[in-house]
């Protein structure tokens, strides 16, 4: 939504996902002037932080549907015009007019292999300093697995560059000892 969100100012969007990313990005989209957001989750509850849920779900221009998935999409004149949403309990199909879809699924970091070795945030992301070094000297981390505010391809590339240059400098210092 950071890259494409402004293109949907004054329009209706569907947000797929019920975790922190979906809710945080939905609030961001509303700040850009989105007319209406419909947020759906296939599970029977949302998983975002309760304060964020309260902030988003009390908005008049937000609709929320649980136990719902995208069944099909309608395209009119070459543009997305509606999403057909299926209630997983009743099988009922709901047609929701939308101009765009944002999908926020699977933002849980895969850090189980390093848990206990490097320090992790409460959400399981690797904690690294401004040089991308972890709490273990000489161990660097980069990309979406690192605890940070934005998870975009450009920030991951930046992290990788910083980690590589920092690792090279660290190794050079180790050789000089």
End position of a domain, from candidates 54, 79, 103: 103
Q: Is pLDDT larger for residue 169 or for residue 113?
A: 169
Phi, psi of 64 (to 5 degrees): -130, 135
C-alpha distances out from residue 132 to 141, 158, 159, 167, 174, Å: 6, 10, 7, 9, 17
- Residue 64 and residue 117 share a domain: no
Q: To which residue do tokens 């939905």 refer?
A: 26
pLDDT digits (tens, 9 = 90+) for 116-147: 889 999 989 999 999 999 998 888 999 888 99
Domain that holds residue 70: 5-103
**Which CATH number covers residue 31?**
3.50.50.60
- Give residue-wise pLDDT tens across range 18-35: 988 899 999 999 999 999
- Are 18 and 89 within one domain? yes
Do 59 and 137 lie in a common domain?
Answer: no
Query: 58 pLDDT band (50/70/90 cuts)?
Result: very high
Split at pLDDT 50, 70, 90, the class of 4 is low
Both 20 and 90 in a single domain?
Answer: yes
Write down the residue that tokens 């929320």 correspond to.
64
**Residue position matching structure tokens 């930046």:** 158
Query: Smallest Cα–Cα separation from 36: which of 17, 14, 54?
Result: 14
Chosen domain end from 51, 79, 103:
103
Q: What is the pLDDT of residue 35?
A: 95
Residue at 177 is within a domain: no
Please state the domain count of the chain: 2
Q: Would you state the pLDDT for residue 29?
A: 93
């Amino acid at each position: 939504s950071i890259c494409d969100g402004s293109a949907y100012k004054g329009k209706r969007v569907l947000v797929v996902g019920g975790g922190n990313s979906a809710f945080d990005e939905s609030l961001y989209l509303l700040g850009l002037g989105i007319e209406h957001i419909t947020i759906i989750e296939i599970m029977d509850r949302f998983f975002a932080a309760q304060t964020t849920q309260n902030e988003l779900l009390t908005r008049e221009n937000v609709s929320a549907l649980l136990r719902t998935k995208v069944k099909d999409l309608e395209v009119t004149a070459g543009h997305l015009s509606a999403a057909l949403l299926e209630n997983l309990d009743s099988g009922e199909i709901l047609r929701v007019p939308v101009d765009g879809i944002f999908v926020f699924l699977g933002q849980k970091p895969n850090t189980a292999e390093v848990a206990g070795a490097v320090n992790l945030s409460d959400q399981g992301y690797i904690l690294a300093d401004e040089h991308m070094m972890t709490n273990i000297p000489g161990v660097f981390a980069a990309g979406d697995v690192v605890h940070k505010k934005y998870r975009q391809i450009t920030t991951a590339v930046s992290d990788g560059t910083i980690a590589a240059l920092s690792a090279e400098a660290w190794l050079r210092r180790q050789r000089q000892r």
